[in-house]
Amino acid sequence: MARSRRGNERVHQNLARLADLDLRYRAALNLGDRHAALRHSVRLLADSADFGVAWIGQPDDEGVLSIGVTGGTRTDLLRDLVITPGSGLTGKVFVRGNLAWVDEYFTADSITHDFDLHIGAEGVARLIAVPILSDGSVVGVLAAGSRSPGAFGDRSIEHIVTTAHSAALAGAVADRARQAAEVAAHEERRRVAIELHNGLGAMLYTIGASVRGLHSDAVDHVLKERLTKIEDQAIEASRLLRESLRTLHASPAELALAVALQADCHSFEERSGIECHFVTLGDLPVLPPGRMRLITGAVREALLNVEKHAEATSVAVTVSVFSGELIVAVTDNGVGLSPARQRDTTGIGLSSVAESLERVGGRLEVRSDADGGTVWRARLPL
C-alpha cells in the first residue's frame, strides 16, 4: 500500500512538472524574442539626433519583404507595407545588399518612387538604409530618415551601420535563446514521458494483472463480467497513455538532433560528475535517422573517452554547419593525449566511429589542444 501511495505521488509530481514546464517554456520563448530585439534597434535610431523615423523590412519564408517594425512614425502607412524587390531605397538595399542613401529623397533618380506618398506623409526629406546580415545573407533592411533637409555625414552613416550590426547580433542571440529554450523544453518533456511511462504505465500494468488474477479466481458470473470490463478499461487506458507519451517524447524534426545531444550531455554529467556544456551555433539540419544515429553514437563514444581518460573537470559539445558540413566537436580541459595515445588517437570505439563516418564521406579528427585538453571533431557532409 505504501509503495502504491509513493507511485501515485510520483505520477502527480510528474504531471505538475509538465504543467509548470509549459509555463516556463512560454516565458523562455518570450525572453528570446527577435522582434523585441529589432524593435529596440529601431527605437534607438528614431530617438537619435541624426534621424527621426526608422523601420526594418524583413522577408517572410517566401522572400517577400515587408515592414514589420517602425519607430518615430506619424502615420500607419508604413506598417506592414509590402516592398517589391528593388523598389524604393529599402527594396534596392535588400536586393543589392549594400548601404545606400539619398540626401534629397523626392528628386533622387537612383531609386524608384513607388512610396513617395508614404514617405511624404512621414515628412521625410532624406533617407538611408543598410542591410542586416546573418552568415553573409541579407535577413532584413534597416532604414532611417531625417525630416530636416541636408546631407548625411560620416557620423550618421556610422550610427546606422553600427546599429544594423547590433540588430543582427541581437537577433542571432534571441534566436539562439529561443532555440535553447525549445531544446531544453523538449528534453524535459522526454524525461517526464519516460518517468510517467515507468510510473503510471507500471501502475496500469499492475492493475490489469491483478484484475486478471481476480477474474480467474471468481466464480460469480456478474463479478466476472465486471472484472472483464475493468480489465478492458485498463488495457484501453494503457493504449491511450502510450499514444500520449509517444507524442510527449517526440521532438520537432528540426530540433531532434539538438534535443538528443542535449540529453546525452545531461546523462554524461549526471553519470560522471564532469560539467558538460552543449552549444548550437546556427540552425541545425534535419538529418535522416541513420545519420542521426551515427552522430549521436559518435558523441556518446567521445564523451565516454573523456570520462575514462581525460581527467577533465569540464567538457563542451558544440554543433554547427559550415561549408556544407555538419561539424560536431567535443572539447575537454583534461590532460590531453599522452605520447602513446597521440600515435593511436582513435582506439577501438573511436576507430569504429571513424570508419562509420568515412563510409558516408565524413571524417574524424582527434588532437591535443594547444591550451590543454583534447579536441574531438566529427565532420559529416550534408
Q: For 56-71, what is each residue's pLDDT tens digit?
A: 998 887 788 999 889 9
Q: Are residues 362 and 318 in the same domain?
A: yes
**Closest to 135 (Cα-Cα) out of 168, 161, 159, 160:** 168
Q: Are residues 234 and 270 in the same domain?
A: no
Q: Are residues 347 and 261 in the same domain?
A: yes
132 touches 162 (CB < 8 A):
no
Sign of CA dihedral 357, 363, 367, 371: negative
Which of these three, 177, 197, 218, is where a domain ends? 177
163 touches 236 (CB < 8 A):
no
Which of these three, 177, 194, 227, is where a domain ends? 177
pLDDT of residue 248: 53
Q: Are residues 142 and 202 in the same domain?
A: no
Q: Are residues 173 and 184 in the same domain?
A: no
CATH number, domain of 273, equals 3.30.565.10
The range of the structural domain enclosing residue 201 comes to 2-31+179-249
Number of other CB atoms surrounding residue 201 within 10 Å: 18
317 touches 328 (CB < 8 A):
yes
Cell numbers at 45, concatenated: 535610431
Q: Are residues 93 and 206 in the same domain?
A: no
* CA 105 – CA 144 distance, rounded (Å): 12
* CA 19 – CA 119 distance, rounded (Å): 49
**Sequence-distant (≥ 6) Cβ neighbours of residue 119 within 8 angstroms:** 105, 106, 127, 145
Q: Are residues 70 and 202 in the same domain?
A: no
Q: Are residues 209 and 137 in the same domain?
A: no
Task: List, as one string, the DSSP characters of 240-307.
Answer: HHHHHHHHHH---GGGHHHHHHHHHHHHHHHHH--EEEEEEESPPPPPPHHHHHHHHHHHHHHHHHII
Q: For 315-359, what is each residue's pLDDT tens digit?
A: 999 888 888 899 999 999 988 876 655 545 445 567 888 888 999
Q: Are residues 150 and 212 in the same domain?
A: no
Q: For 13-41, what is each residue's pLDDT tens digit?
A: 554 554 554 444 444 334 445 677 788 88
Q: Are residues 142 and 194 in the same domain?
A: no
pLDDT of residue 26: 45
Kindly give the parts of the chain with pLDDT less than 50: 1-3, 15, 18, 21-32, 343, 345-346
* CA 378 – CA 360 distance, rounded (Å): 12
Number of other CB atoms surrounding residue 343 within 10 Å: 8
Helix (H, G, I), strand (E, B) or coil at 323: coil
Number of other CB atoms surrounding residue 78 within 10 Å: 23
Q: Report CA-CA distances (Å) from 133 to 73, 81, 167.
A: 24, 21, 9
Cell numbers at 101, concatenated: 542613401
pLDDT of residue 169: 72
Q: Are residues 289 and 370 in the same domain?
A: yes
Q: Are residues 22 and 98 in the same domain?
A: no
pLDDT of residue 27: 42
Count structural domains, the chain: 3
Which of these three, 215, 230, 249, is where a domain ends? 249
**Closest to 83 (Cα-Cα) out of 143, 26, 23:** 143
